Structure 1
Amino acid sequence: MTTTREFETLTGDFYQFENLLSETERGILERVRAFLRAEVEPIANEYWARAEFPFQLIDGIRGLDIAGLMYDGLAAHRGSRLLSGFLALEIGRADPSVNTFYGVHTGLAMGSIDRCGSEEQRERWLPGMARMDRIGAFALTEPHGGSDVSGGLETTARREGDTWVLDGEKKWIGNATFADLVVVWARDLEDGHVKGFVVERDTPGFHPVKIEGKVALRSVQNADITLDGCRVPERNRLQRANSFRDTSDVLRQTRGGVAWGSVGCMMAAYELALAYAKEREQFGRPIAKFQLVQDHLATMLGNVTSSLALVVRLAGLQDEGIDLDEHSALAKSVVTTRMRETVALAREVFGGNGILLEHDIARYFADAEALYSYEGTREINQLIVGRAVTGMSAFV
């Protein structure tokens, strides 16, 4: 007789979407959830306040064997996009900063090498990255180019024999202060096309400097990077990255991951607000008994549930291989907009306590602003969708 294992149902998963995972995948997710509760949640505020990354967590994440789930032969279990999404949700629910670290490494950096590297390059770098022996970063954004980088990168690459020389600047590069491998995108001076290069740590001419003074995702170690005559061997040029279209292919996959992590951020905010409303008393009774508070909670839950439905379907399209740029763009735009409303309502439920780190909600409220903006602003993603449905581009 076969028995079915009992799994926890999250308060914020009102329609129980997690039941769509296989029993094996739910087991992986619960193992990750237990680690996050024990190791991440208790220290998240402390490291956020100090703007430091908890490097001791890397060993624990390594032990979960999840970094290579989306790539053939790199983990004990080859995961579905649905599992990958729920992992991003779960990590984002515990700490959006840790999820950003994880997403940059496993999605942007590993994804670039997997999709744009040769077989030899994939074999050289991906196994170590899957084991988290080597941490990756992804350098595309520039000081003068964010949403418009597709129109032309200022960072340049020129070939000298079997070596490429990179010159320019990058901005907002997560993990870059400590990453072992940084995927740098630059414009080839000879043909004008965008190409990708894997720059190894301590390469002469590669200078990352930590960005200070952030008010969101403070634990993420973002860097400004200066590339000054940085010499990279031809064997480190991603052999299948020949234009910005290849860069966009990577972003299409990771943009969906940002949407999943944003669901996690707003789910945490809802769950915190619900628990607080049940215990906080005003006028002689829990504030959860007041109509306006219940209206806030119902609105938050609706945002979480509808957003989760959107990303679950996106994962299905990705697993079927029929997803398009506009699918990921719509998910990222809609979900992060709903997230912004949700964390604001949750903070409102907390009243004055909502600005204290000890209640956690302030961290999610602040971090939501970064999630709302990175990997494509709302406006840019709306225009991607608008172009798809009208057949006309409104980009300038």
Structure 2
Amino acid sequence: MTFEPLASDFYGYETLLTDEEKGALAALRSYLESEVKPVVNGHWEKATHPDGIMKGLAGTGAFSFAWDETRPFENSAVFRGFVALELARVDASIATLVGVQNGLAMGSISVTGSPEQRAEWLPRMASGEIVGAFGLTEPTSGSDSAQGLRTTATREGDEWVLNGSKRWIGNATFSDITVIWAKDAEDGQVKGFIVPTSTPGYSATKIENKQSLRIVQNADITLEGVRVPESLRLQNANSFRDTAKVLRLTRAEVAWAAVGNSVGAYEAALRYARERVQFGKPIASHQLVQDLLVKSIGNITASLGMVVRVSQMLDDGTQKDEHSALAKAYTTARMRETVAWCREALGGNGIVLDYDVARHFADAEALYSYEGTREMNTLIVGRSITGFAAFV
């Protein structure tokens, strides 16, 4: 399949990809443009999940780009970043669905699971047979998850008993398994568990009335005496430091998704500006509209340079928490500016779904906050550059 570079990749970062990666990205783009883009506005408005989307995405290889049953990172981190960009360029909710499945759920098993657990679960998740969710955030614990988890895990023989609650868990209304992070009642350390959602005592309730990422089926999860065998405890998850290893890998891809969301808004605004005629000529020929578009492509280009570099650092083993944190904080802040400028370029039409910008504008707010708020990521970077922790 022919790969066409994005016009919004102004400095041509896609040229860093291999021919094989370009082909895979072209196939994904084709599927998104033909099967996903025509339906997302309708599903966004109704806050529904497209039937068959997980299987369809699995057919493009979207859930096996990052992991296989024995080894993480089959492809380059830069390629995986462009996958996240491509998904969010069409719809940030779809990018989130994949991020939860591929990055958080599969990532947890790949990074902290045993070889047997990776072999059992990852191929089935890569094929779309099994859908996963990631249960870390709680009703009273978000940014302070490292210390504030209230969900408990109590060992009883060869079983663990989980009690507690989780909130904002993506995919959780239809997932087959959820990776639950809980504090060991004995040693106080955070541990991870693969919990089949059919387990007695497990329940998930959809969060209603969201005004961002409306296609994502976020849920409140309740765990009441949920029993899981020792074989479903992630064998290499022994403290929150191990949880953080997963988040470090996925945080940078959220930064890529923020760039993709900006690209989607920019492309829609550019298309509109070329077609919309006022005062006898397309508004794209007006200086003030061009100013909005140039500021937008400037933000996109700067952000793309940052995420490409942070992904290269992941590939060469030099990326640290502060690097992904800076990328997430910076790109989501620039995204907020960009989608606002794109909405402005459309005037009144910028607030209706028909022109796509309104969806990207609203979805930006969720990307800005999840996987670490700007403030928390700022504190991670601040600790690195000053040597002082200022979290409390």
Counterpart residue identity of residue 277, structure 2: E
- Matches of 1:74 and 1:89 in 2, distance apart? 26
Looking at structure 1, the residues matched to 2 and 168 of structure 2 have their Cα atoms a distance apart, in angstroms, of 42
**Cα deviation 1:149-176 (Å, max 9, x = unaligned):** 1123111111111111111110000001
Please state if 1:32 is matched with 2:28.
yes
Q: Could you say which residue in structure 2 is the equivalent of 1:338?
A: 334
Residue 220, structure 1, aligned to residue 216, structure 2: yes
Matched, 1:46 2:50: no
Secondary structure, aligned partner of 1:204: coil
SS at match of 1:394: coil
What secondary structure is seen at the aligned counterpart in 2 of 1:230?
strand
Secondary structure at the residue paired with 1:395? coil
> By how many angstroms is 1:74 displaced?
7.7
Equivalent residue letter for 1:374: Y
Number of equivalences: 391
Distance 1:12 1:109, change over 3 A: same
* Higher alpha-carbon deviation: 51-60 or 343-352: 51-60
Q: Which runs of 5+ in 2 are unaligned?
A: none
Paired letter, 1:71: W
SS of the residue corresponding to residue 346 of structure 2 reads helix
The offset of 1:278, in angstroms, is: 1.3
Alpha-carbon distance in 1 for matches of 2:6, 2:81: 15
Shift of 1:274: 1.0
- Per the alignment, residue 191 of structure 1 pairs with 187
Partner of 1:88: 84
For the residues of structure 2 that align with 1:186 and 1:292, how far apart are their CA atoms?
A: 53
Residues 74 and 130 of structure 1 are in contact (CA less than 8 Å); yes or no, is this contact kept in structure 2? no
Distance in 2 separating the partners of 1:18 and 1:119: 34
CA–CA distance in 1 between the matches of 2:58 and 2:242?
A: 29
Q: How far apart in 2 are the matches of 1:279 and 1:29?
A: 28
Secondary structure, counterpart of 1:41 in structure 2: helix
Does residue 1:312 correspond to 2:308, yes or no? yes
Given that 1:154 and 1:186 are in contact with CA atoms closer than 8 Å, whether structure 2 keeps it comes out as yes
1:16 aligned partner: 12
Match of 1:389 among 379, 385, 391: 385
Counterpart of 2:38, as a letter, is: P
Letter in 2 for 1:305: T
Consecutive aligned runs of 4 or more in structure 1 exceeding 3 Å deviation: 72-75
Q: Does 1:58 align with 2:63?
A: no
Indicate yes or no: 2:365 matched with 1:363: no
Q: Does 1:242 align with 2:238?
A: yes
Q: Indicate which of 114, 130, 136 corresponds to 2:132.
A: 136
Please state whether the residue corresponding to 2:376 is helix, strand or coil.
helix
Look up the match of 2:293: 297
Return the alpha-carbon distance in structure 1 between the equivalents of residues 88 and 62 of structure 2.
15
Q: Give me the whole-angstrom Cα distance separating, in 1, the residues matched to 2:215 and 2:244.
A: 27
Asked if structure 2 preserves the Cα contact closer than 8 Å seen for 1:307 and 1:335, the reply is: yes
Contact 1:211/1:222, CA 8 A, preserved across alignment = yes
Aligned residues with identical type, % of pairs: 57
**Scaled by the length of structure 2, what TM-score is found?**
0.98
- 1:222: Cα distance to partner? 0.4
Q: Deviation string for 1:71-115 (max 9, x for gaps)?
A: 24689x931111111000001101111110001000000010011
Provide the rounded CA distance (Å) in 1 between the counterparts of 2:45 and 2:353: 8
2:156 to 132, 156, 160: 160
Q: Provide the TM-score with structure 1 as the length reference.
A: 0.97
**Separation in structure 2 between the aligned mates of residue 78 and residue 384 of structure 1, nearest angstrom:** 29
Contact 2:70 2:115 in 1 (8 A): no
Query: Alpha-carbon deviation of 1:281?
Result: 1.6
Counterpart amino acid of 1:122? R
C-alpha displacement of 1:200: 0.3
Cα distance per residue 1:316-367 (max 9 Å; x no partner): 0011111100000000000000000000000000000011111111100000
1:326 and 2:322 correspond: yes
Distance of aligned partners of 1:380 and 1:309 in 2 relative to their CA distance in 1, 3 Å threshold: same
Give structure 1 stretches of 5+ with no counterpart: none
